[in-house]
Structure 1
Amino acid sequence: MPSATILVTVPTLAPAGLDILRAEGCHVIFTSRDGGVQEMLQHLARGPIDGVISRTLPFGVEAFAAAGSRLKVVSRHGVGFDNVDVATATAKGIPVLIAPAANGQSVAELALALMLAVARRLPARDAAIRAGEWDRSGSGLQLSGRTLGLVGYGGIGKAVARMALGFGMRVVVFDPVAKPEPDSAVEMVDSLERLLPRSNFLSLHVPLTVQTQGMIGKRELEALPRNAVLVNTARGGLVDETALLAALASGHLYGAGLDTFASEPLMPNDPLCTRSDVVLSAHMGGSTDAALDATARMAAQHVLAVLNGRPIDRAVCVNPEVLKETCS
């Protein structure tokens, strides 16, 4: 096709992806750090934009309307797609593609890092030393010998499981669509109700959908063993944060490690920020050099595949019905 114009909804794209686009003659436009949704809409309205690589900004009805009829594809820079209005995209015949597994290892490593940081109270220990306190009292949790419950067993969940087994943990999984793996040390259960009471550590690895919204609430947190740890590197909306705060305040939970939140960015006055038993990071599970390169490369390849009519793996199409002739 003639030279395409691609809008990237963040200020930068890793060279691994940008080079692919430019090698095929694409004109690439970026949304500035301070421009936000309004600048993105202005770019779309000025157009014409052939494809969008979507990362953090919400891409909703207004964005699709501003883009007009030229827009052919929205490619997610990541695996989640809750910030894209898939229903509108489908109505307009526009495929929404995700980049599964591209950042999976990095997200999995952060999940383990959060488990360790919470279990050993590392941020509080670090802060105490910097404040001139040398306090060796108190104790933490050892991961080895404890059970990790995983909700979701895709690429990220499997990577977390491998590392947890290496730490000497038992791993139990609930994922209604995952298939049992022969000779695996991972145990699979058929319900969240069976998973939770066994999970000394609970780590979430599912997308945010109507079905998963608020899936970890008061009842689920109470079902966890006392002194359990919750880790969420998936989407903030999976967890009822009010219920989480109550479970922490009551002492039922030992702590939580959170990379995602119901509302982002998290404000400094949020109650989660006041708790020393909560370790926070700014939705950066996929923010490593390797992950950013791999995700940018995959997102760029997906855009070009649609624009050039090349086959696409059906598994990366959120709404594959719009691409019946080109999805493989």
Structure 2
Amino acid sequence: MPLKVYYPRPKIGLYPREVDKQAWDLLQAALDPEIEFMIAPEIPDPADYHVLITGWPTKEQIEASPDLHTLVIPWAGLTESTREILQEYPQLNIHNLHHNAVPTAETALMLLFAAAKCILPIERKFRGHDWRPRYGPNPALLLSGKTMLILGYGAIGQQVGRVCQAMGLNILAIRRNPDAPALEDLQAEVHPPDALHKLLPFANVLMVTVPLTDETRGLIGKRELDLMPENSILVNVGRGPVVDQEALYKALKEGKLHSAGIDVWYNYPPDEDSRAHTPPADFPFYELDNVVMSPHRGGGASEVELLRMSHLAELLNAAVHGEPIPNKVDLKVGY
């Protein structure tokens, strides 16, 4: 029986035409012949699709097809508005794509290294031909031999852990299900969420990769930052509000933390006109030399659409063959 899939998206989309075409060709070549794939901004007629692919499903899209049984959100996690809508449709199976785990992990590592080596203020001075930082006290931290605590040991966290373990860091991790499968070559010590306060005093690096849920909002505040060792580093590629912004700002400004690398924020531009002048937080992180700032672009890369379509093909092929579909979302916890 054919598997009918509807992807409500313009064929050009938000990416350059040549990238989208290449990704679309890859998807078509990788899909099982039994999969009928429809891509269009409007609901098809007849609306008899089994799988809907979108991060912002509408009630119309969900209710149009009586055959709909699966929603695929084409990234990791889901928005709060989507979560609220889906509470009305408990019969739906919901799955994510984790295609951007490697790009996000690479961004996390970039932020970590740049923060640990204090490269940005030094680079700014050197652009003015100022060599003096080479001859003064060196504030860079050595990472090898230190301990990293990964808060959220999913696809992103494991990719980060794999690289850092190879560099000589000891890896601790917190995961909702500590016994869930992980990369075979990792030797991390994995703990449940209630071990957070016990582990923070060992965390020379706190790597935040968890999604934002009711349980993770404000999970890292003043108390948690105070538990970390002096001269430690925090990197956040999960969601901004997982870390209390005031507590983080004060810990950085007062020198409790050595540095931070942040890709996810607290305020976002509400429209296109605001993109050139929206402060990302309520506190002036931009004034601090010990912060590396990135405008939530960690999961992106020039090849990201190719990765997305490759992972989408794997997921849909599993569905049409009756195999377990990866990355099932638990609406109760939000990921």
Match of 1:272 in 2: 285
Aligned residue type for 1:273: Y
Give the whole-Å Cα distance in 2 for the aligned partners of 1:95 and 1:3: 15
Which residue of 56, 65, 77 maps to 2:74?
77
User: TM-score by structure 1 length?
Assistant: 0.77
Match of 1:188 in 2: 190
The answer on 1:213 being equivalent to 2:217 is: yes
Change (3 A) 1:316 1:223: same
Aligned residue type for 1:70: A
Which residue of 259, 262, 265 maps to 1:258?
262
Match of 2:126 in 1: 129
Match of 2:14 in 1: 11
Secondary structure of the 1:85 match is helix
Match of 2:244 in 1: 240
Give the whole-Å Cα distance in 1 for the aligned partners of 2:239 and 2:47: 32
Aligned residue type for 2:208: L
Give the whole-Å Cα distance in 1 for the aligned partners of 2:268 and 2:323: 32
Secondary structure of the 1:207 match is coil
Deviation string 1:148-198 (CA, Å, 9 cap, x unpaired) is 111122222222112112211121122241228899642234500121110
Secondary structure of the 2:258 match is strand
Change (3 A) 1:221 1:16: farther
Secondary structure of the 2:122 match is helix
Give the whole-Å Cα distance in 2 for the aligned partners of 1:112 and 1:205: 12
Give the whole-Å Cα distance in 1 for the aligned partners of 2:280 and 2:262: 16
Q: Is the 8 A contact 1:154 1:178 kept in 2?
A: no
Aligned residue type for 2:291: V
Give the Å deviation of 1:132. 3.6
Quick check: 288-297 or 214-223, which moved more? 288-297
Change (3 A) 1:19 1:91: farther
Deviation string 1:131-156 (CA, Å, 9 cap, x unpaired) is 34222223211111211111122222
Match of 1:285 in 2: 298
Give the whole-Å Cα distance in 2 for the aligned partners of 1:304 and 1:122: 45
Q: Is the 8 A contact 2:26 2:306 kept in 1?
A: no
Secondary structure of the 2:172 match is strand
Change (3 A) 1:162 1:279: same
Match of 1:97 in 2: 95
Matches of residues 191-202 of structure 1 in structure 2 within 5 Å?
191-202=195-206
Match of 2:309 in 1: 296
Give the whole-Å Cα distance in 2 for the aligned partners of 1:241 and 1:302: 37
Q: Is the 8 A contact 1:16 1:296 kept in 2?
A: no
Indicate the percent of aligned positions where both proteins have the same amino acid: 26
Runs (5+) with no aligned partner, structure 1: 31-42, 322-328
Aligned residue type for 2:97: A
Which residue of 88, 105, 115 maps to 1:108?
105
Give the Å deviation of 1:64. 1.8
The answer on 1:316 being equivalent to 2:327 is: yes
Give the Å deviation of 1:105. 2.1
Quick check: 203-212 or 71-80, which moved more? 71-80
Q: Is the 8 A contact 1:17 1:300 kept in 2?
A: no
Change (3 A) 1:192 1:133: same
Number of positions where the alignment pairs a residue of Structure 1 with one of Structure 2 = 300
